[in-house]
């Protein structure tokens, strides 16, 4: 009997009818001869509603209390799903993160899973139960509830699949899978049948938003195949795994983009050792992640330093850059919040010279100016004007013939 771990997101269990729909899907998987463990997120907007309650009574709610509060959202949906399964005649039981044996560190609101003791889950499976686990949560050594932060329920599902040695982990969501580009922007975008872990990671980080990178990473480390598919349709979805066929390599898989980008340039920086370190240490100290960094070579030991950050970090970053620029003797500094990123992604891209040229040509043909370029093994990213990002995605999707993916 195969063991399958499934995860359903908040939009898939947003109301009673949708919960019944999910219960029917789970029942079918069970009737097909599988043992099933299902991880479930909080219903629809529950988490936001709970956060609002918290901010009604406190400007900076205790993170320990916030975690207990938020964890109730997933407990509610897990009990309802177990009830729904029973009303369909299936044996089922819900377990909280604590009951499921999910032990985490003490970092409230962004806890990391330390280990899973699946004793209770196994016991319930052996009794013939479909086990519903409240996602997004665990307990620390003090037996206090913690939550896993963004992508928490995806992480719960993959971690349980690893711990239970499941055949596969299925992530059901409100999209049909991973596309060659955002289908809301490129109408010809095609759903991928499969994608490698690393490509998926680049797609996620660069805005595909189908599944949290953290859960993909976990799947990659332990080699668990992850299926991403729609909870509303019976379509095959996208399988994320490591064994991508030879034909799948050296080929652009998809176009990713990100509009939450701002750019800061510090002009006329003295080209001395330690200057860049001073800047980025100060930003890191304020919790600001710096993404692309470009330093323009210069004559006369003077350089211009440009880097990108999340648009939402621009205010705090400028607060740091302002005194710093004076301190290091820079000539001036400028910021631009009107930029965006567009990336082509595919295994082996960096080692195949033609891709970069093809990308730049496609963009130049649309008169899109490239401000910065950054690359990884499997990705080439251009920073361009924000209002040209959609045009860029469409042009690249066409240039790399992704509609035939």
* List of residues contacting a copy of itself (CB under 8 A): 15-17, 19-20, 23, 50, 53-54, 56-62, 64-66, 68-69, 72, 75-76, 78-84, 86-87, 93-94, 96, 99, 143-144
For residue 376, count other CB atoms closer than 10 A to its CB.
14
Question: Would you call 98 helix, strand, or coil by DSSP?
Answer: coil
Comparison of 127 and 235: residue with beta carbon closer to a copy of itself: 127
Of 142, 152, 131, the C-alpha closest to 218 is: 152
Q: How far is the CB of 122 from a copy of itself (least distance, A)?
A: 15
38-234-247 Cα angle (round to 5): 95
Comparison of 74 and 182: residue with beta carbon closer to a copy of itself: 74
Distance CA 137, CA 70 (A): 9
Q: How far is the CB of 99 from a copy of itself (least distance, A)?
A: 7
Comparison of 56 and 367: residue with beta carbon closer to a copy of itself: 56
Q: How far is the CB of 327 from a copy of itself (least distance, A)?
A: 37
Comparison of 50 and 310: residue with beta carbon closer to a copy of itself: 50
Comparison of 74 and 291: residue with beta carbon closer to a copy of itself: 74
Q: How far is the CB of 53 from a copy of itself (least distance, A)?
A: 6
The answer for residues whose C-beta is within 8 angstroms of residue 273's C-beta and 6 or more apart is none
Distance CA 402, CA 405 (A): 5
- Residue ranges of alpha helices (H) inside 286-353 are 314-327
Comparison of 68 and 185: residue with beta carbon closer to a copy of itself: 68
Contact 275, 328 (CB under 8 A): yes
**Strand (E) or helix (H) holding 64:** helix 63-87
Tokens of 382: 């251009």
Q: How far is the CB of 136 from a copy of itself (least distance, A)?
A: 14
What would the DSSP string read from start to end of 12-61? GGSSHHHHHHHHHHHHHHHHTTEEEEEEE---TTHHHHHHHHHHHH-SS-
Q: How far is the CB of 58 from a copy of itself (least distance, A)?
A: 4
Q: How far is the CB of 223 from a copy of itself (least distance, A)?
A: 33
Of 192, 241, 199, 204, the C-alpha closest to 220 is: 241
- Residue ranges of alpha helices (H) inside 107-233 are 119-126, 152-163, 197-203, 213-222
Tokens of 401: 């013939």
For the stretch 289-292, contacts whose Cβ atoms lie closer than 8 Å and that sit 24 or more positions apart, written own/partner, are 289/313, 291/261, 291/374, 292/372, 292/374, 292/381, 292/383
Comparison of 72 and 335: residue with beta carbon closer to a copy of itself: 72
Q: How far is the CB of 173 from a copy of itself (least distance, A)?
A: 21
CA distances, 39 to each of 134, 136, 220 (Å): 6, 9, 19
For residue 174, count other CB atoms closer than 10 A to its CB.
13
Rounded to a whole number of angstroms, the CA Rg of the chain reads 23
């Amino acid at each position: 009997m195969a063991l399958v771990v499934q995860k359903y997101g908040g939009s898939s269990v947003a109301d009673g009818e949708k919960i019944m729909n999910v219960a029917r899907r789970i029942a079918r998987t069970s009737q097909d001869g599988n043992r099933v463990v299902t991880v479930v997120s909080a219903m629809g907007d529950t988490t936001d509603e709970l956060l609002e309650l918290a901010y009604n009574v406190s400007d900076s709610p205790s993170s320990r209390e916030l975690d207990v509060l938020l964890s109730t959202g997933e407990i509610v949906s897990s009990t309802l799903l177990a009830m729904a399964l029973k009303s369909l005649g299936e044996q089922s039981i819900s377990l909280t993160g604590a009951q499921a044996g999910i032990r985490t560190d003490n970092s409230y609101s962004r806890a990391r899973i330390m280990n899973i003791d699946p004793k209770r889950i196994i016991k319930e499976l052996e009794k013939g139960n479909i086990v519903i686990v409240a996602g997004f949560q665990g307990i620390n050594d003090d037996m206090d509830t913690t939550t896993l932060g963004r992508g928490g329920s995806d992480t719960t599902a993959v971690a349980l699949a690893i711990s239970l040695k499941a055949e596969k982990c299925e992530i059901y969501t409100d999209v049909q899978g991973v596309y060659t580009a955002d289908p809301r922007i490129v109408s010809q975008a095609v759903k991928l049948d499969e994608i490698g872990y690393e490509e998926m990671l680049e797609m996620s980080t660069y805005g595909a938003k189908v599944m949290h990178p953290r859960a993909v990473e976990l799947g990659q480390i332990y080699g668990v195949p992850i299926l991403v598919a729609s909870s509303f349709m019976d379509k095959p979805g996208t399988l994320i795994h490591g064994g991508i066929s030879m034909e799948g390599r050296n080929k652009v898989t998809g176009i990713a983009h990100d509009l939450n980008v701002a750019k800061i340039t510090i002009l006329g920086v003295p080209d001395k050792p330690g200057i860049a370190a001073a800047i980025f240490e100060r930003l890191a100290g304020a919790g600001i992640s710096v993404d692309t960094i470009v330093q323009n070579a210069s004559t006369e030991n003077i350089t211009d330093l440009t880097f990108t950050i999340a648009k939402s970090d621009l205010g705090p970053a400028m607060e740091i850059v302002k005194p710093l620029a004076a301190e290091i003797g820079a000539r001036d500094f400028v910021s631009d919040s009107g930029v965006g990123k567009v990336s082509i992604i595919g295994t082996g891209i960096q080692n195949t010279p033609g891709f970069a040229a093809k990308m730049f040509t496609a963009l130049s043909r649309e008169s899109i100016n490239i401000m910065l370029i950054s690359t990884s093994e499997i990705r080439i990213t251009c920073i361009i004007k924000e209002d040209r990002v959609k045009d860029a995605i469409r042009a690249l999707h066409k240039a790399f013939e992704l509609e035939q993916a």
